[in-house]
Amino acid sequence: MMALFDTRIGLASLLALIGLNVVASVLPYKDSDQTHEQRLADLLPRMTLEEKIGQMSQYVGINLLAQSEKNMTIEQLAKSDARGFYPDLHSSEMPAFIETGKVGSFLHVVTAKEANLLQRHAMKSRLGIPLLIGIDAIHGTAMVRGATVYPAPMGMASTWNLALVERASTETASEMRATGSHWSFTPNIDIARDARWGRVGETFGEDSYLVGEMGVATINGLQQGDFTGQNKVLANAKHWVAGGDPITGINLSPMDVSLRTLREDFFPPFKRAIEAGVFTFMAAHNEINGVPAHANRFILTDVLRKEWGFKGFVVSDWMDVSRLHTFHKTATSQKDAVYQSVAAGMDMHMHGPRFLTPLMALVEEDKITEERINESVKPILLAKFKLGLFDDPFVDESAVSKALFTKEHQKTALEMARQSIVLLSNKENILPLSKSTRLFVTGPNANSNAILGDWVLRQPPKNVTTVLEGLEALSPGNVDFYDVGNQVKNLLQKDIEAAAKRAEKADIAVVVVGENPLRYDRKGKTSGENVARSSLDLYGRQLELIQAIESTGIPVIVVLVNGRPIAEPWLLDNTEAIIEAWEPGGKGGQAVAEVIYGVTNPSGKLPMTIPYSVGHGQAIYDHKPSAYRHKYVDAPTHNLFEFGFGLSYTQFKYSQPRLANKRISPKGSTAVSVKVTNIGDRAGYETVQLYIRDNYSQVTRPVKELKGFEKIMLNKGQTKTVEFKIQPDMLAYFDLDMNYVVEPGKFTLMVGSSSRKSDLKTVQLTVK
C-alpha cells in the first residue's frame, strides 16, 4: 500500500510539474491573466513588418468574392461600390492567404459559419492573431438574414428618444457577436444638409446637436463603455467629415466649406463621439476644400488626434485610398496614394491587396517609418484583446437562431417604429380611424419590404410586417387591397385607373407611396447609398395614382415610406392626412397600422426640414438671418414642414418659460423651465425642445439653434415641469479670431414643440 501511495504522489508531482511548464510556455500575449496592455506590449515586437501591415489590411469575405466572381463581369465589378473583386486573388486562394498573416480584418461576412471559417484560417498563421470582422449594422445587423431590423437612422432620430436608440444598439451588438461580427460601421453622424443626397435616411438629420446626441446613444449601446467583453462591439464614427452637403447632391462629390462652418456645424457630432469613447473613425469619400478626406492631414491628424486626443484607429472607406490616384488625381500612382493616406493618418485599408506591398516598400525606402506603422497597429490589436478575440474568436453556430429576432428585440423594434412615425397633417382630425371603416389600400409600398430601408439583405417574410399586413391584422375583413406592384418607378396606367375605380367602394383610401431603398433591388432602387436624385417629388407616377383616387371624392390618407424628405405640396393641399413613416423596419407595418387606427398616439418629430421643392434647398431651420430677406417669385418661400414638427392625437399647452437667473456672467450658468400640460383627451408623448439665439454678435449667428430636448409622457390633464440647464458652451461660438467664447449681450431662449416660430415661447437671458 505504501509503495502504491508513493507512486501516486510521484505521479501527481510529475503532472503538476508538467502543468507548470505548460503555463510557463504560454506566450504572454496569449495569457488572459495579463492586462490588455501587457499582452499588446509582448505581441508587437514579435511581429514582422509584413504582419503588422497585414493588421492594417481589410478584405471582403470569401462568400461575397465568390458571388461577385460568378455573377458579374470584370467591367461591372470595376464600377461597383458594393461588390468585392480581386483580379490577382481568387476566392479559392483566400484561405491560404489568411494563413500568411497578411489579413487583419474582414467585412461583408454575413454568416457565423463563414466567420468561424475565416477565424480558423487566421489561427493557422504564425502568431495566430484573430480577425476583426466589421459589418454595416446601420439599424440592426440587417445584412444578416433573420436579424432584427430596426427603423433606419432617420426614423431613430424622429423618436427623439435617446434611451430607446441606446437599447436598440445594445441589442444589435448582441446579435452581431452571435453571428461573428465585432465592429459596426455606424453611427453615420454626417449632417444631412441636402435632401437630394441618397444617404440622408442613413443619418440622424440636419441638426448638429441632435445628430451628436443620437450618435452618442448609438455608441453607448454598441460599445457599452470601453467595449471589453464578449457581448459588445466597436462603434464607428463616420464619415469624417462633411459628406452630407455635397455640391451636386451626389455621394462622393466635393464639399467646399469654410473652416468656421466645419467647426460650428460638421465637427461637433464627431467631437461628441470621441467624448463618448468611440474607438474607430471612417474617413469620408469626399474632398474638403480641395483636399480628399483620405489624404487630409488636417482632418485625420491635426484635429482628430492632436487637438481632440483620439486614441483609436481610422479606417478608409470603400477603395477610397486607390481613388486618390484613379479619381481625385492627387496621387500619381497607387503607391503614392498609399503614402498620402498613411502619412495623413489612415490606419486601416478598406479593402483589398493593393495596400500591403506598396506600404512595405515605403517603409523600406524610409518614406514611412515603422513607428508610424506601430501607431496604427497598436489600437487595432488592443481592440482585439479587449473584445476577447485572442481568447476565443469563434461563435456557437447552433445558437445563432436563438440570438436573432428575439421577443425582446422585436419589442424594441416595434416601440421604436411607433415613436418614429411623424403625423404631418390631419385635417378635421380624420385620424385615428374606426376599425369598422371600409378601407381601401394601395400603392407600391403598401405590401413592400421597402419599409426595411437601406443596408438590409433579404429577410424571412415572417419577420416583416408590411403596412397592408398591419392593417389587415387590426381590422380583418374591412381592408380591400389593390396590388399595383412594388416598384415606385413602374406604375401602369391600367393599375392607376383600376385602383381609382376600386376605391369608390370604400369609406377611406390609404395610399402608401415613397421610395425604394432596397440594395438587393438594384434596378428599382431610388434612395440609399449612391442613389441621389435631382428632384424631391414622388418618383414616377405615384402622384398620379393619389390624384386619381382623390378625384373620386373619397378621403385620402397618404403614408410615406422614404429615406429622404418628399416635397409634394399637392399632398398637403388635397389629402386629408399625411403620415411620414420613413423606413420603420421589420415591425414598421404594424406600427403604421396602430397609428392609423389609434392604437398608438403618434409622437415622432421631424429631424429634418421638408422643403417646398428641391429648389428650396438648402432648407435648414438654423439658417442665417439674411437667408430669407427676399422671396422666390415662382413659389411660396416657406417650407412644407419645419424641423422638430410632428402632430399628436392630443394637445399640449406650454406655460411661459422661466429663468432661474436672468443675468449671468460669461462663465456662469442658469436654468430655464417650462410647464407642459396635456389638455387633450388621451395620453401622449411630447418632445419639449430648447432653442437659443445670440441676439447680436461679431459674426452672424443662426436664427435659432437646438440646445436641448426632453421627451415626456403625459396622461390626460397631467402637467410636468421640464427644466434645461444653460451652460456656457450652449451660448459660445467662434468669434472673429476663431476663439470659442461667450460674448456679453442678450440671448433669446425659445421653448416649445417644434422649431416653428408659432410653436415657441421665449424668454431673454443677459450675459453681463
Note the pLDDT tens digit of each residue in 15-66. 444 443 444 478 999 999 999 999 999 999 999 999 999 999 999 999 988 8
> What does pTM read for this prediction?
0.95
Note the pLDDT tens digit of each residue in 359-376. 999 999 999 999 999 999
Residue 83's pLDDT band (cuts 50, 70, 90): low
pLDDT at 9: 39
Instruction: Write the burial class of residue 469 (CB in 10 Å: 0-12 exposed, 13-18 middle, 19+ buried).
Output: middle
pLDDT at 81: 61
The DSSP H or E segment spanning 486 is none
695 backbone dihedrals φ, ψ, rounded to 5°: -65, -40
Nearest to 97 by CA among 270, 330, 356: 356
- Distances in Å between the Cα of 412 and the Cα atoms of 48, 66, 163, 562, 571 are 47, 36, 11, 21, 32
Give the list of residues 6+ apart from residue 677 with CB closer than 8 angstroms, or none: 652, 653, 655, 714, 717, 718, 719
pLDDT at 22: 43
Q: Which pairing describes strands 280-283 and 236-240: parallel, antiparallel, or unpaired?
A: parallel
Q: Domains, the chain, ranges and CATH? A: 50-401 (3.20.20.300), 421-628 (3.40.50.1700), 652-767 (2.60.40.10)
Question: C-alpha cell of 636?
Answer: 411660396
Q: How far is it, in rounded angstroms, from Cα 478 to Cα 470? A: 12
Note the pLDDT tens digit of each residue in 692-721. 999 999 999 999 999 999 999 999 999 999
Nearest to 102 by CA among 85, 122, 117: 122
The DSSP H or E segment spanning 672 is strand 670-678
CA angle 192/252/541 to nearest 5° reads 65
Note the pLDDT tens digit of each residue in 623-665. 999 999 999 999 999 999 999 999 999 999 999 999 999 999 9
Note the pLDDT tens digit of each residue in 577-614. 999 999 999 999 999 999 999 999 999 999 999 999 99
Q: How far is CA 65 from the centre of its chain?
A: 26
pLDDT at 238 over 70: yes
246 three-state secondary structure? coil
